[in-house]
Amino acid sequence: MNVIVVGAGNAGRPVARLLNYAGHTVKITDPKNIEDFHMDVQKTLRLMESEGVELDLGVFKPSLDGIDTVYLSPTVPENSPAYKIIKEADLDVFTNDDFGRLADSFIDIDIIGITGSVGKTSTTHMVTEIFRTAGYQVWICSSMTQNLVSEVIVDGIIKGIPEKSDIAVLELPHGTAGLMAELKLKVGALLNIYEEHLSEFGGSMERYTQRKMFIAKNSENFITSIHCKDTVKEARPDAIFYAMVKDLPAYDPSKKSLFFDKIANFEEIAIGEGQVCNFIGDSAKGAIEIGYKFRNKSNELRKGSFQSEFHMMSYYYENAVAATAIAMAYGLSVEIIKEGLANFKGLSVHMEYIGDYNGREVYIDASYLIEGITVALDFLGDRSLVLLLDNFDTSTYRDKKETGKLMGKYANVMVATGFNEVYQRVDLEPAQELLDAAVDSDAVKVIAGTMQEGAELAIKYSKPGDTILHLGPQLMQDPEGIMEKIVTGLEEGCKKYK
């Protein structure tokens, strides 16, 4: 078929590229010239052109000559000339569901899919480590490779990676889920659903939740945390639930071991009407303990508990329980899972230690939701803490009042920066909002234009023995660039201040 893809944004590019690979004649159009796109996008567009996709850019009224099918990107404004031309034309429509089915047709191996608001990336990599430990050739697609995972998946298909692999482990953020909702998953995991990206869903938490819930429909084995028990109750009564022991409804710290005894003896740990927790975890220095009790699709009972070496901290513990549930539901042994957890060394920009700077230990973390920030701060909160903060508004506007208030409870110093990596400009208003929200905190509050300036000031307003923790979403936009700015600022600060 002859296809026009309207919109060269995050949805249009992977659709156009995969359709071209599938043998169709494809033209992609956009009112922006190629020079108006980010350099990374320009490279992708040039690659698509070399593969045979026609670029029709800088065009407000695209020609439909010879076109029989259209893909209309969801971000194309209804009042745009291109939208009106397409709506008035009598063309077949290629939908996101069609794209998902097309992508699925090229992946002839079992797929593990992982979605949620936070924890997707680290869980995806932990699952990958476990399966690699088991000897599998794993095709992993995650936002650590590229922020837009749908493009990573399409690129892998075109390069023939599924044919060279035994299993696919795919991180499925909300944007990718919108395009890939028809993927058939051997195991699917919904980690959590928190308020995030609502500006992309008209402010509707219900619409955001619906986007995430595709995974319940398409997963043969469905894993989810107890945080989602009410959300999935009707859709998946066979859901396999996991939790950290401290989050169980009847948790009593003095009787923690009883929960592990119960689950090992196949006693039910109720979490709701007709719902029980199948996997529970607990953290310890250098180790993790996991208890489990569930029936797989063959109705085989698996129960017991184990301890594994585990050298991570913070939110990694809960993600390790999710990864264990995924691997065990697929059929891997406890011994392999233990070895895989012990082998996992963490991810860059996720509670990553980057060194000692004039007696200050420095960590960086890409958390930006309340839930992730809380866990990170809880692990470091008994220290004298200097927070080096991103601009928390990327292309998504975020509530900074609760975030700033929370940070103020832990911090001795807050350094908030204003540079927005997405739009490449300084905007001090979000930084000021974070600091203003900590009105009840005695923390020293400092504002800076760029991350490098902020890192210098973090040294200035700290002292030997303090811990500096970077928090915020910009690390996920440009991890190498942001890291370079932080390190440069720290080094310059060390030269200026003791």
Distances (CA, A) of 334 to 205, 294, 303, 306: 37, 14, 10, 8
Whats the size of the chain, residue-wise?
Answer: 498
For 216-235, the pLDDT digits (tens) are 899 999 999 999 998 999 89
Would you state the pLDDT for residue 397?
Answer: 74
Same domain, 81 and 113: no
Contacts of 147 (CB under 8 A, 6+ apart): 476, 477
Residues whose CB is less than 8 angstroms from the CB of residue 207 and which lie 6 or more positions away in sequence, other chains included: 201
| 247 exposure class (CB count in 10 Å sphere: 0-12, 13-18, 19+) | middle
Q: Are residues 285 and 401 in the same domain?
A: no
Reading the block at residue 37, the tokens are 């796109």
Would strands 2-6 and 25-30 be described as parallel, antiparallel, or unpaired? parallel
Per DSSP, the three-state class of 460 is helix
- Structural domain that includes position 107: 99-343
Residue at a domain's end among 313, 343, 373: 343
CA contacts within 13 A on the Cβ side of 186 = 17
The answer for residues whose C-beta is within 8 angstroms of residue 91's C-beta and 6 or more apart is: 4, 64, 67, 68, 69, 70
Over residues 277-308, the pLDDT tens digits come to 999 999 887 899 999 999 877 788 888 889 99
Specify the pLDDT at position 196: 59
Q: Please state, in angstroms and rounded to a whole number, the distance separating the CA atoms of residues 323 and 337.
A: 9
Cβ atoms of residues 274 and 237 within 8 Å = yes
Q: Which residues of 109-122 are buried (b: 16+ CB within 10 A; e: fewer)?
A: bbbbbbbbbbbbbb
417-464 confidence digits (pLDDT tens): 998 887 788 889 989 999 999 999 999 999 999 999 999 999 999 999
Q: Which of 423, 428, 427 is nearest to 477 (CA)?
A: 423
- The reply to whether 382 and 430 lie within a common domain is yes
pLDDT for residue 393: 84
Q: Bigger pLDDT: 376 or 84?
A: 84
185 and 84 part of one domain: no
Residue 260's pLDDT is what? 81
State whether residue 105 is helix, strand or coil: helix
- What amino acid is encoded at 71 in this protein? Y
pLDDT of 199 strictly over 70: no
The pLDDT value given to residue 54 = 97
pLDDT over 80 (residue 215): yes
Regarding whether 217 and 292 lie in a shared domain, the answer is yes
Please tell me whether residues 87 and 103 are part of one structural domain. Answer: no
Helix (H, G, I), strand (E, B) or coil at 450: coil
Going by the DSSP 8-state scheme, the letter that residue 381 receives in this structure is T
290 shares a domain with 187? yes
Contact 473, 390 (CB under 8 A): yes
Residues 300 and 389 in one domain: no
Looking at the structure, tell me whether residues 421 and 295 fall in a common domain.
Answer: no
Residue 410 belongs to domain with CATH number: 3.90.190.20
What average pLDDT does this structure show over 170-186?
Answer: 88
Structure letter (DSSP) for residue 301: E
Question: Do residue 335 and residue 476 come from a single domain?
Answer: no
Whole-number Å distance between alpha carbons of 347 and 333: 24
Neighbours of 465 (CB within 10 A): 10
Q: Give the integer Cα–Cα distance in Å for 473 and 481.
A: 13
Q: What's the pTM?
A: 0.80
The pLDDT mean for the chain works out to 89
- 186: domain CATH number? 3.40.1190.10
Does residue 492 or residue 175 have the better pLDDT? 492
Q: What single-letter amino acid sits at 114?
A: I
State how many domains the chain has. 3
405 and 419: one domain? yes
Domain shared by 264 and 385, yes or no? no
